[in-house]
A and B are shown apart, each in its own frame.
Chain A
């Protein structure tokens, strides 16, 4: 109950409301810009966030995360280009409906479903996070090791060219995490005599490079693409009939989105895909799908916004990122000296209330923006890439430099931009690499600690019920997609439509 009071306090402070209003606006615009999404935006924001007061900084990340997820749907509906990968499924029915001259109706359904999904997802998060965090008292090294392995095993099912490639990417990330001075022994590993690498490779610079820089180079392959505002429309609230048609869809998809979001490594993109598929599977009028079915808009939008709250749960409770964006938010928290887990709830109730409040506020705020000015925001997407991207990459360079005032960091940023681009072309997506990078240290230290606690017998980890459960789930996570593939139930077609950064 105390936490609700704190949330209310946060939301009544005018300066916080300002931050929500501005943060949501920025998030909405960036989300609507194709190629730019929450991952790129939060990565670019990191250099600033780590200089802010922790609550404001992390709350701001959470705000833009919510707003970008919704912003992506605007462009999906109006110009048939998903503003973020999570909005890819929204183009299937959103754009056809807009073409029929009902853009306002499509935007209304998307806005409404996004806000409901988002708010319900956050409510689940407010309840589930402290519960999961309490469980963390039973989490020793064995359990954390198993949990981190579970996180890595989810790489099997996130979309991408192939499971093996995701795992190779994950292993590469784990390897990157070992660069620098080993914390327990003080031995330099893979530093190649470079003093700049003693402290480990700069995670933030890698993220900026691999997400923002990699996307710049991808844009360079398609500078000829022209975007046009094909449909226009003023957002309209869903009619009573529409509402009656979609409310079940919204609730179902919210449930799917939240659960998928809570699973480590899975983000809004996968949530939207599964929700759309489920809606199609159970729908009575299947032939309407792909031609402008409002359920086809409501399902992915409710799911990907619900996933936003879901992905924050394991991030805050256990320090295991729920997806790409939360991986960056987690990094920001660690730099600010905040360690997710049960202590966080005892020591920093303000911070958590701030995050919860900010996310709730952002959802309400984008509902208002969406109803008032969807048309305006969609016009912003017509900023020429030739103007936008040089600015983005310059911002990335300055941001990478400003963290430690080091030219070496710009070098790291550019190196990973180039590396990330070519790896992505060959099917090694950035998200698994980042997951490995984030979880690497946890896996190594918890493994070492387990080795000491169980007198060198690592099999004893299997004797811990929670750890065993997670390891079995990992096995299921790896074998599940294989089995599904064997049964032919895995839809290659839809998976291959989703390219680019995860989430």
Chain B
């Protein structure tokens, strides 16, 4: 009894001290430049997102923002780097499907409780893209895929695109799917055009110029409803592929970051994303400010994504 009391006093004392300390931390925050870590190469879609999303935040927080890219093993190197940094809010990183997948793959000793997803920035729809004139339409493609081997192009093996390809395979009931990984979306489009691969799931900006030039056909958009600005493109549900796979991107910090710092960062990032430049950026891919959500909504969404991926974990990892 005596000991327990002592212990509780100690806990209380620590709590008071750490609370006081974190208040100081929050006032002092940021005490230096903030690093933003991307898990794919500079110049790609994620890099552009991060730069637009944090552009105004530097001014709001009165600090400089350094963009770094730690590629390799989907998000493995990014998370390893984050792990090596103190949980003080000076290291932000991209949170996307790759983050959840990497945690699941066991290549890093982290799970969803080790990070705090702060804000969501984009919900970009994906499209089914094939060589121009190759198929009559979405239904024709699905019929073909049920009885013929399909070569599907995408980015990193074990990444978001690969997982979506697997979900697509299972939803359609494809006879056989070979996943061919490329480093950049530009190469994927070229290989769809020259017929080396049959199909790819891409964001609009990744194939827009080739679609305009008539080099590729768009079979469907993987969303519950048709897009307002592209009403002619049917949804996956309409052509017999009931799956939704918008590409979600956001920012996060390490768990254990003082609560006040987390609040300050969340507020700053949300404000940064309300800027005109960010809204313009969202418009570019047919989105609006509904793509931007704060910590609570994004955290819940990340948890759902994390849990959903458990279902294909076995297939992906063969375990």
Interface: A372 (CB within 8 A) = no
Contact across chains for B151 and A452 when beta carbons are under 8 A apart: yes
Tell me the complex Cα distance, A138–B158, Å. Answer: 28
Provided the pairs A184-B156, A185-B158, A452-B180 are in contact, do residues A337 and B42 lie with their beta carbons within 8 angstroms? yes
* Min C-beta distance of A440 to chain B, whole Å: 14
Interface: B170 (CB within 8 A) = no
Interface: A141 (CB within 8 A) = yes
**Complex interface bits, A455-475 against B, C-beta within 8 A gives 1, otherwise 0:** 100000000000000000000
**Complex interface bits, B151-174 against A, C-beta within 8 A gives 1, otherwise 0:** 100001110000000000000000
For residue A357, which residues in chain B have a CB less than 8 angstroms away from its CB? none
Tell me the complex Cα distance, A191–B181, Å. Answer: 23
Q: Which of these binds chain B: A163-171, A193-201, A242-250?
A: A193-201
* Min C-beta distance of A208 to chain B, whole Å: 20
Contact across chains for A137 and B194 when beta carbons are under 8 A apart: yes
For residue A198, which residues in chain B have a CB less than 8 angstroms away from its CB? 72, 76-77, 80
Contact across chains for B76 and A453 when beta carbons are under 8 A apart: no
For residue A141, which residues in chain B have a CB less than 8 angstroms away from its CB? 191, 196
When the two chains form the complex, which single residue of B41, B84, B183 contacts A337, counting CB atoms closer than 8 Å? B41
Interface: B82 (CB within 8 A) = no
Contact across chains for A183 and B72 when beta carbons are under 8 A apart: yes
Interface: A181 (CB within 8 A) = yes
For residue A337, which residues in chain B have a CB less than 8 angstroms away from its CB? 41-44, 47
Tell me the complex Cα distance, A479–B136, Å. Answer: 50
Provided the pairs A195-B84, A338-B43 are in contact, do residues A186 and B180 lie with their beta carbons within 8 angstroms? no
Contact across chains for A186 and B76 when beta carbons are under 8 A apart: yes
Interface: A336 (CB within 8 A) = yes
**Complex interface bits, B101-141 against A, C-beta within 8 A gives 1, otherwise 0:** 00001010000000000000000000000000000000000
A-B pairs with beta carbons under 8 A, tally? 81
Tell me the complex Cα distance, A185–B157, Å. Answer: 6
When the two chains form the complex, which single residue of A138, A200, A342, A453 contacts B72, counting CB atoms closer than 8 Å? A200
For residue B226, which residues in chain A have a CB less than 8 angstroms away from its CB? none
Interface: A399 (CB within 8 A) = no
Beta-carbon nearest neighbor of B186 in chain A? A343
Beta-carbon nearest neighbor of B209 in chain A? A346
Interface: B197 (CB within 8 A) = yes
For residue A336, which residues in chain B have a CB less than 8 angstroms away from its CB? 42-43
Interface: A3 (CB within 8 A) = no
**Complex interface bits, A133-164 against B, C-beta within 8 A gives 1, otherwise 0:** 00011111110000000000000000000000
Contact across chains for B190 and A199 when beta carbons are under 8 A apart: no
Contact across chains for B71 and A183 when beta carbons are under 8 A apart: yes
For residue B42, which residues in chain A have a CB less than 8 angstroms away from its CB? 335-337
For residue A338, which residues in chain B have a CB less than 8 angstroms away from its CB? 43
For residue B190, which residues in chain A have a CB less than 8 angstroms away from its CB? 136-137, 139-140, 342
Tell me the complex Cα distance, A343–B182, Å. Answer: 15
Beta-carbon nearest neighbor of B180 in chain A? A452
* Min C-beta distance of A338 to chain B, whole Å: 7
Interface members, chain A 316-344 (any B CB < 8 Å): 335-339, 341-343
Tell me the complex Cα distance, A183–B184, Å. Answer: 12
When the two chains form the complex, which single residue of B43, B72, B186 contacts A181, counting CB atoms closer than 8 Å? B72
**Complex interface bits, B8-47 against A, C-beta within 8 A gives 1, otherwise 0:** 0000000000000000000000000000000001111001
Interface: A445 (CB within 8 A) = yes
Contact across chains for A181 and B41 when beta carbons are under 8 A apart: no
Contact across chains for B194 and A186 when beta carbons are under 8 A apart: no
For residue A277, which residues in chain B have a CB less than 8 angstroms away from its CB? none
Interface: A370 (CB within 8 A) = no
Interface: B286 (CB within 8 A) = no
> 20 interchain pairs (CB within 8 A)?
A136-B190, A137-B190, A141-B191, A180-B72, A181-B77, A182-B72, A186-B72, A187-B73, A199-B71, A199-B72, A199-B77, A337-B42, A339-B184, A339-B186, A342-B190, A445-B181, A448-B181, A449-B181, A452-B178, A453-B151
Contacts beyond the supplied A139-B190, A186-B158: 10 A-B pairs with Cβ under 8 Å? A137-B193, A140-B196, A181-B72, A181-B77, A184-B156, A186-B73, A199-B70, A335-B42, A337-B43, A453-B180
Q: Which residues of B contact A (CB under 8 A)?
A: 41-44, 47, 70-74, 76-77, 80, 84, 105, 107, 151, 156-158, 178-184, 186, 190-191, 193-194, 196-197, 209
Q: Which residues of A contact B (CB under 8 A)?
A: 136-142, 180-187, 195, 198-200, 335-339, 341-343, 346, 445, 448-449, 452-453, 455
Which 10 residue pairs of A and B lie closest in terms of their CB atoms, listed nearest first?
A: A337-B43, A186-B73, A181-B72, A337-B42, A140-B196, A343-B186, A452-B180, A184-B157, A181-B73, A453-B196
